[in-house]
Structure 1
Amino acid sequence: MADRRVILARLTHFGRYLAGWLFILTSAIWLTVHAVWLYQLTLRTTNVLQQVNLSRATMMHNYRYLLAYLDFPWVTKLALPNFSDSKAGLQHFADVKHLLMLNNVVLIITLFITVWGLWRLLKQHRLWELQLPMQIALPIAPILALIMSMNFNQFFITFHEVLFRNDDWLFDPNRDPIIDALPSSFFLNCFVLFFIIFEGWLILGWLVGRQAVKAI
């Protein structure tokens, strides 16, 4: 009976930490996807508007429509007001939607588990346990960012080959002109923002753990 309790306690402990890591990952993805200001910055610093021949307000309307499609389960059809899409293009956006839906579900679940786990650590005066795992994980984002900076095009291709089982993400501007509104510089900035958010969570966790160690 005692062995079962030990095993259950260890599994619960592992589950809380796994949920914490998944929360860091999924929240960084969610915050990056919804960084509308980043796309607005792209419109101001690139020639996207000239390429698509639209005003900034019209382009942002299309972008928000795209985000609504990716975000909400009840929006089942993508029909951008000022862009046409091929069958392959629509399938790729559907695949992205499914991945983001999964990300959002995991985010919501792990948010509650993470808050509960942190509350337990706080109550038991064990927040110091955060310091070591966060410290170990701190180099992850800088290493990935360094790899990405060496050859972003290859990094971007590999990223899509890992996540998608088809080549629908290889857009043809003639058939899917929306790709002209999503330049590679925008995706590069998205990855940079993701790494910053991911690293920010780790630093915050490390600082909390460090402060808890000092309080002992």
Structure 2
Amino acid sequence: MKKTMNLIFCIFFSLLIIGSSTMITVGFKQLYYFDINYLNISEQNNLTKEEIKINYDYMIDYNLNKISGEFDLPTIKSSPEGKVHFEEVKEIIQNVIKLLIVSLIITIIGIIANLKNNNIEFLNITSKLVIILPILVSIPMLINFDKTFVAFHELMFDNDYWIFDPSKDPVINILPQEFFFHAGLFIVMLILLSSVILHIIYKRYNNKR
């Protein structure tokens, strides 16, 4: 029973790391700011960098629930279907945040319980569990990002509103797939870094015992 409970705790610990890495990436606007120049987004859309930043910031703040009400970009028009899509994205992100809160509570309880019993094996287990996702996600991304991108959206959404018509939702023009590829890699890097840190802590602590 203890091993089963500890495994469940390690799974939630892993979910906390994965979810946190995702939310850090979502909130790390500088990654997109870098891509504005790197991917020549401004030149390709005849928009100033500042205007692009304002609209991107709005999208992020809306999804993080810093902005309430109907989705309405500052300077770029949106179709009814486009607005629904962003509302669905916001709902997904808010559900991720709720899962993070639950995972954080369970993780804190699990860490306290394990440390009281002088058990640090959870660090080793979690470091291995958390590395599985980056490997599984990276392989299809590197083989064929376009198909992976489409499959992800078909899995997450029960409609095709994510397939934007640039004439109705020109916002898609400032959100190239290359940016999402960079964001995916950034998430994977954060998860891998977390795994390495957990493993180092486990090794150092274990060597002192």
Alpha-carbon RMSD: 2.0
* Deviation of 1:44 (Å): 1.2
The number of residue pairs the alignment matches comes to 209
Q: Helix, strand or coil for the counterpart of 1:54?
A: coil
Q: 2:131 maps to which residue?
A: 138
Q: 1:54 maps to which residue?
A: 47
Deviations 1:134-165 (A, max 9, x none): 23653541342132111110010111111111
Q: TM-score, normalization: structure 1?
A: 0.88
The 1:133–1:46 alpha-carbon spacing in structure 2 relative to 1, beyond 3 Å, is: closer
Deviates more, 1:170-179 or 1:49-58: 49-58
Q: How do 1:65-80 residues align onto structure 2 when only pairs under 5 Å count? A: 65-72=58-65, 75-80=68-73
Q: Is the 8 A contact 1:49 1:56 kept in 2?
A: yes
Q: Is the 8 A contact 1:128 1:208 kept in 2?
A: no
Check if 1:149 corresponds to 2:142: yes
Deviates more, 1:13-22 or 1:190-199: 13-22
Check if 1:176 corresponds to 2:169: yes
Percent identity of paired positions between Structure 1 and Structure 2: 25
Q: From 1, 13, 21, give the equivalent of 2:14.
A: 21
Tell me the amino acid that sits aligned with residue 163 of structure 2: L
Q: 2:197 maps to which residue?
A: 204
Q: Is the 8 A contact 2:20 2:100 kept in 1?
A: yes
Check if 1:108 corresponds to 2:101: yes
Q: 1:213 maps to which residue?
A: 206
Q: Is the 8 A contact 1:68 1:75 kept in 2?
A: no
Q: Is the 8 A contact 1:20 1:110 kept in 2?
A: yes
Structure 1 gaps of 5+ residues are: 1-6
Tell me the amino acid that sits aligned with residue 162 of structure 1: L
Q: What is the CA–CA distance in structure 1 between the aligned matches of 2:132 and 2:64, rounded to whole Å?
A: 31
Q: How do 1:92-107 residues align onto structure 2 when only pairs under 5 Å count? A: 92-107=85-100
* Deviation of 1:105 (Å): 1.2
Q: TM-score, normalization: structure 2?
A: 0.90
Rg larger for: 1
Tell me the amino acid that sits aligned with residue 38 of structure 1: L
Q: Is the 8 A contact 2:76 2:171 kept in 1?
A: yes
Q: Helix, strand or coil for the counterpart of 2:36?
A: helix
Structure 2 gaps of 5+ residues are: none
